[in-house]
Structure formats: C-alpha cells, structure tokens
A and B are shown apart, each in its own frame.
Chain A
Amino acid sequence: MKRIAFLCLLITFTIGAAAQDGFDATFNLNGYGRASIFGGGSAYAVSSLFSELSLQPSVKTNNALLESDIRIRTGMFFNEKKTELQIRELYVGYKSRNFDVFLGNQIVSWGRTEGFSPTNNITPDDFFFLSSDPNDQKLSNFMLKVNYRPVIGIGLEVIAIPFYKMSSYRFDLFDMSGFDMSGLEQFGQFDTSNMIDFGNDMVPEKILANGSYAVRADFDFSAFGGSVSWFRGYDPYHGFNVVSVNWATGQPVVRISSMPYLKNSFGADLAAPLGNVVILRAEAAYNHTKNPNNNMYIPNPDISYVVGLETNLWGFMIIGQYIGKYTFNYSPLIQPVLPSGGSAAELLQYAEDMIDYENRMFNRKVFNQQEKTNHAAFLTVTRSFAYDVLSAECTAFYNFTSNEWFIRPKLSWRISDALMVAAGGNYMRGGEKTLYGYSSAILNGAYAELKIIF
C-alpha cells in the first residue's frame, strides 16, 4: 500500500517536472469525488457504503502520453471496513500516424455487442463492486498494447499480458449450504450447512509462458464494421476446483479455490446499419479448451454468440440481443445415487461422488454450459429528458435455459455540469442453487450516488 502511494507521488512529481521543464507537454488533471450507498438485500442491509476520490492526471507531448485513473476509496464493503488505493489505469504510450504503443495498466474492451461480448477476454471484472456505473467493475491488466493502422479503416491490435489477473466473483459471500447431500443427513452422519470453504485463488505461476496474448484485426467501412480476433491465455472468467476434502472432524469440509484455465478463443464481430434507423450487431467466439473432463474447472469447448438490434424510437434508444452458447462434447451430469443400506465405504464414496457432482454442476453454471445449447435475451432501453438533464435507463436479462433473470432500472439527474445524482436498483432472481439464486441475497437492492466532477 505504502509502495503504491509512493509510486503515485513519484509519478505525479515526474509529471509536474516534465510539464515544467520545457518538454512542450500538456498536463491535465480531471477526476471526481463521489459518495455511494448500496443496500436493501437480504444478506446485508447495507452491502456497500463508500466515498471515493478519482484523480485522472494525464500528460501529452507531441507523440508521447501518460494516462491514469487513480482512485482512493474508503468505506464498508460487505460489512468489512476498507480503505484502498486502486490504480485503475496507469500507462504510458507513443501515438503516431499509423502506429501506437502503450505500456502499463490498461482496460481493454473488445466486441461490438452490449453487455455480453464473447470476444472480450482481455479485461477482468469485479462483479461485486457496487456503484451506479457498471464500467466501474472493470479491472485493468498490466499489458503491452500495440496498434498498427496500415490503411484507412483497418487496424491491427496486438496485446501481451505477462501476468494473469482473474475476475472477482466473491462466491465466498454466498450461502452455499444448499449443496445436495440429501440422504446422508438421515443417517445423522453429515452436516452440510457449513461444508464449503473457499481457499486462496490458484493463479498460474508468473512466467511468460502463462501470459495472455491476443491479436485483433479490426475494420470499419461505410456498409459495415467488424473484426476477427484470437486470444490465447488464462480466461479472466475462471472456474473453481475442489482443492481438498477434509474429514478430520467427521464432517466433510470441501475447500474450493478459484482456478483459471487456459483457452484459445477465435472470435469475430460485426456492426452494420440497416437504413438509418437500425444497427445490426453480432459477435461470436469459439473457445477451445483441453481436458475439460479431467478438470472440473475447465469448461468444454464451446461457441458463444450474440445477435442484436439497436434503434431509436420516439426518443428511446433500444437495444435487444439474443445470447446463445453451444457446448461441444456435452453430456449431462449424472447425479450419484445413495446406496441403500450401503456400507461406510460406500457412503463415503457416495459423499465424494456428490461433492464432485455438485462442484462440476456449479462450474457449468459459471460457464453457462448447463445444457448443450443455452439461450438468453437482453434488453436495454434508455431515454433522456429535459435536455439531457435527466436520464432513465432500464436493462433486463432472461436466461431461458436456467430461468434466471434480472432487471436494473437507473435514473440520473445532472444537477449541473459538475454535480450529478444517480439512483437505481438491481433485482435478480433464480431458482434454488442457481447463480442468481445465490447472488440475489447479496446483489439485490437499491443504490444512490452523489458525484462531483472536475
């Protein structure tokens, strides 16, 4: 923490010195301060309560630049008091007519669809950072990014990320007592209410071979725009593995850890106007993995695809999308059967089989591979009022395969150029032992935020 603070000070002084020493540099300092509260869920009366200062110093010379977004935050997060410094972005770069190179902590978003982008494998998310802006959940990676534009309308992007960073699911906050060990309790042998223990994240060894590498060729023409891309690396949207099962107390304690997996992803996207009222957006990616059957934290190879339409109707901006996934080599998981009148060894085997089954099933939910084909729909409607002073939006999602859904309304009031208020809510619902079922106790609720921009 102190080292990071020192680094920030050093950078700030360096920027100041550069600006003063005749480098013909332009120094800018923007940012915001905000106070935010999120609460009303069943697990936490107040899930998140914090104040935050974002400083966004930047320096530009003729071709060189430095961009940053440094956030200092203090508050309560799921009943835990924290004061933290987040280097959300901090990178330096060189920009020229055909060639750019950037090095440092950056956020990259790939894909032409909204919310669910199969080609977007670069940037991890912290899904449990609760604020009025979903973009706040994006976490930067340290990376080298190179852009090359050989001709007008065509660009090539190459990214190298030496060290893996995973998304944050915070499943440790979930009530996982619903693991189905039914049948065993009747023998009075197992208590399943506290059997899940989340261990440390299992990140790959920090060697370059475990880095992530990605290339994208992007093109934009009058009739349409699109890209083709390739990603090789550990997926930020990781799985879970059973690290150990401890029987020392006579009760099974299953230790689960976040476990990333290696994949190759080949993707493409497209955006094409249909007349001047509708834009067609589409995106797909084939994700290739190895040994999914041997390791529960590795998903089967699959194809993820999204097709959507965007239009403006009576002042409303409407985006509707179909989201699908086809899983290769899919076979349903067979739930173990409790042996009737089984021996202790058989019961133990059954318990271990159930632990494996439940965790494999849980990973399939995380990977959205619950069926061979999985279907969902996404709709977002946005409208601004009173000369953009007020803005209302509502996003809804329904997963037809798992019958999970959410709805997220939001209102923003721009009181002045510098002052903004936002309020909204999140309501998600799913059946027993679904991800939304687990999450709803934590993520359902309403929020309010006051923000000063400078």
Chain B
Amino acid sequence: MKRTVFMSMTTLGLLFFSCGLFAQSAEQIRKKAADVVDLSSMTMDFTINIRDGKGSERVRQLTMITGRFNDVTKTLIRFTAPSDVKGTALLIFDYEEKEDDMWIYMPALKKVRRIISSEKGKSFMGSEFTNADMSKPNHADFHYELKGSETYEGRECWIVQAEGKDQAIKKANGYSRSVNYIDKETYLCYKTEYYDSSDNLHRVMIASDFKKITATSYFAYHTSMENVKNGRISEMVVNNLETGKKYREDLFSPNALQ
C-alpha cells in the first residue's frame, strides 16, 4: 500500500505510453492528444490484476478523478478493493516545474497524512507497473533514437528508443532505456520493452483494446506488463472512463479526503 504513495497521474500515463517517446514528432502528437481529449478532467474506474509465476492472482480496484486548476493537475484516487485498503484515498498535485504534493488518508489511522513523492521506480501497488509508469514521462529527461521499423501485430511501427540522460534519471525511473513500438498511422504505442541498469530486458508492456475517446484520440483500456525475469504479469483494465466533466476544485482538498 505504502508504495502507492509515490505515484502521480495514474493511468493517465497509459495514454502517454501510447505516445511513446519520439525524437521528432512525439511532442506534436502528445500536444495533439492533449488538445483533443481533455484528460485533465476525467473519471476512471480501473482494475489491476496481478498474477505471479505460480498462478496466484491479486486484484486491486481503484477510482480516479482528475482536474486541472491553475496549471496544476490534481488527481484523487480512491481504493475500492481489496477490502482492507478500501476507503484509502490518495491526493496528488502534479506541478509542471516542481515536485508533486501528496496526501494519503488511511481509514485505520483516521487521519490525512502528508507524504513524500520520491522513488518513482518502485512497484505500484505490488504490481509490475512502477510509479514512473503511471506518470506522464518527462520528455526532456531522455535521448531518443529511431532504431528502425517493424511490423507488430499487423501494424507498421516505428521503433523508438528512449534512454535516460543520466544515471539519476535512469534510477529514478527504474529503467535505463525503453524501446517503443509506435504505429506509424495512429501514433499509438502498442509495445514497450524496458531494460534494467545492466541493460537486460526486464519488463514488456503491451497496450491493447484502444477505444476512441474523441474523433482523433484513443485510450488503451487494457494494458499488461510482464516481468520477464520472474514471470509475473500485471494487467490494468479500464472499467469505465468519462472525460470532459469539470469537477469542483474543493473535491481535491486534503481536508476533504476523510
């Protein structure tokens, strides 16, 4: 549970997985997606299924709402299952140019606690996703390289490598480089490979079930992350997604968490 505290924009990041990390056009595509779909104001119910190599499964269910107020993206996540974390709420203020502010409310403690926002490379809720995976990547932190083209699942894809600019960035994100398979037609990223600090393949993310949110943008309703080292697989499934709704800012107040 405590690991969740370091995450910022939960599956909003999924959309940005789809944008990948392009050398030339990534910024344009991301801006286009952000302009067309107002994902800074959304409600989403989603489930994370975590399966280990022995076949046992754990399930996490969450509800998230986001809003954007004065250049600050505010995210409120409430845990709905399993029951021992039910009622736990996490509030994140995501700033463009400084560290996030985070608060957590845990029903057992009966109080709201301010928490720190480091260690993005750690597991998110015991899954194969990391807190960094849940965040919108900071494009300025990476060097990009076009490694070629390949057909993936019948789609013509660019293969774009993104490598952290320094060791601190690599450590913070939990990987040294990623290799992204990006559809040349839609700019959706269907597959990403993550390499560890020793440059060994560590995790593979597959995004699927893209659904049209607006005329020009999509959202991955199913994302899986496989840890090739230990065989664990985590799946993130979007159960419900609503965009375009404007929320009151007072919903995102720490003293309203309880």
Contact = CB atoms under 8 A, between A and B. Distances in A.
Interface of A: 30-32, 97-98, 107-112, 133, 135, 138, 147, 149, 152-155, 218-220, 222, 225, 271-273, 275-279, 310-312, 315, 317, 382, 384, 387-389, 416-418, 420, 453-454
Given A317-B2, A384-B3, A416-B56, A97 B248 contact: yes
Given A133-B108, A273-B114, 10 more contacts: A112-B113, A135-B109, A149-B253, A155-B256, A276-B117, A277-B116, A278-B116, A279-B115, A387-B50, A388-B126
Contacts of A311: 116
Nearest to B119: A312
A297 B1 CA distance: 42
Interface in B106-143: 108-119, 122-123, 125-127
B123 A388 contact: yes
Identify the interface centre among A108, A111, A222, A382: most chain B CB within 10 Å of its CB: A222
A312 B119 CA distance: 8
A138 B111 CA distance: 13
A276 B118 contact: yes
Contact of A312 (B50, B116, B253, B255): B116
B87 to A, nearest CB: 9
B221 interface: no
Interface string B57-95: 011000000000000000000000111101000000100
B249 interface: yes
B255 A315 contact: no
A225 B111 CA distance: 13
A315 B122 contact: yes
9 contacts: A97-B248, A110-B111, A152-B253, A155-B255, A220-B253, A220-B255, A273-B114, A276-B99, A277-B116
Contact of B255 (A110, A149, A384): A149
A107 B125 CA distance: 27
Contacts of A312: 116, 118-119
Taking each of B81, B249, B250, which has the highest tally of chain A beta carbons within 10 Å of its own beta carbon?
B250
B222 interface: no
Given A32-B84, A275-B99, A417 B118 contact: no
Given A152-B253, A417-B58, A453-B84, A387 B126 contact: yes
A153 B74 CA distance: 13
Given A108-B110, A388-B126, A279 B249 contact: no
A153 B50 CA distance: 36
Nearest to A391: B2
Given A310-B116, A417-B82, A220 B93 contact: no
B78 to A, nearest CB: 13
B232 interface: yes
Given A98-B250, A388-B3, A418-B82, A218 B255 contact: yes
A135 B101 CA distance: 27
Nearest to A154: B255
A387 B127 CA distance: 7
Closest 6 CB pairs of A and B: A155-B255, A388-B126, A220-B254, A276-B99, A387-B126, A109-B110
A253 B114 CA distance: 51
Contacts of A133: 108
B118 A388 contact: no
B103 interface: yes
A416 B58 contact: yes
B75 to A, nearest CB: 15
B255 A153 contact: yes
A272 B111 CA distance: 16
B83 A454 contact: yes
A133 B84 CA distance: 13
Contacts of A272: 114
Nearest to B112: A220
Contacts of A387: 50, 123, 126-127, 232
Contacts of B125: 388
B105 to A, nearest CB: 11
B248 to A, nearest CB: 7
Contacts of A149: 250, 253, 255-256
Contacts of A417: 58-59, 81-82
B110 A279 contact: no
Nearest to B101: A222
Interface in B1-36: 1-3
B141 to A, nearest CB: 15
Contacts of B93: 222
B56 A277 contact: no
B250 A388 contact: no
Nearest to B125: A388
Contacts of A276: 99-100, 116-118
A149 B252 CA distance: 12
B254 to A, nearest CB: 4
A421 to B, nearest CB: 13
B189 to A, nearest CB: 25
Contacts of A389: 126
A272 B101 CA distance: 10
Contacts of B56: 416
B23 to A, nearest CB: 29
Contacts of A155: 253, 255-256
Nearest to A120: B111
A420 B58 CA distance: 13
B111 A271 contact: no
Contacts of A273: 99, 101, 114, 116
A350 B59 CA distance: 69
B57 to A, nearest CB: 9
B35 to A, nearest CB: 27
A107 B110 CA distance: 7
B80 to A, nearest CB: 10
A152 B82 CA distance: 31
Contacts of B81: 417
A410 B123 CA distance: 22
A453 B81 CA distance: 11
Which of A312, A317, A418 counts the most B-chain CB atoms under 10 A from its CB?
A312
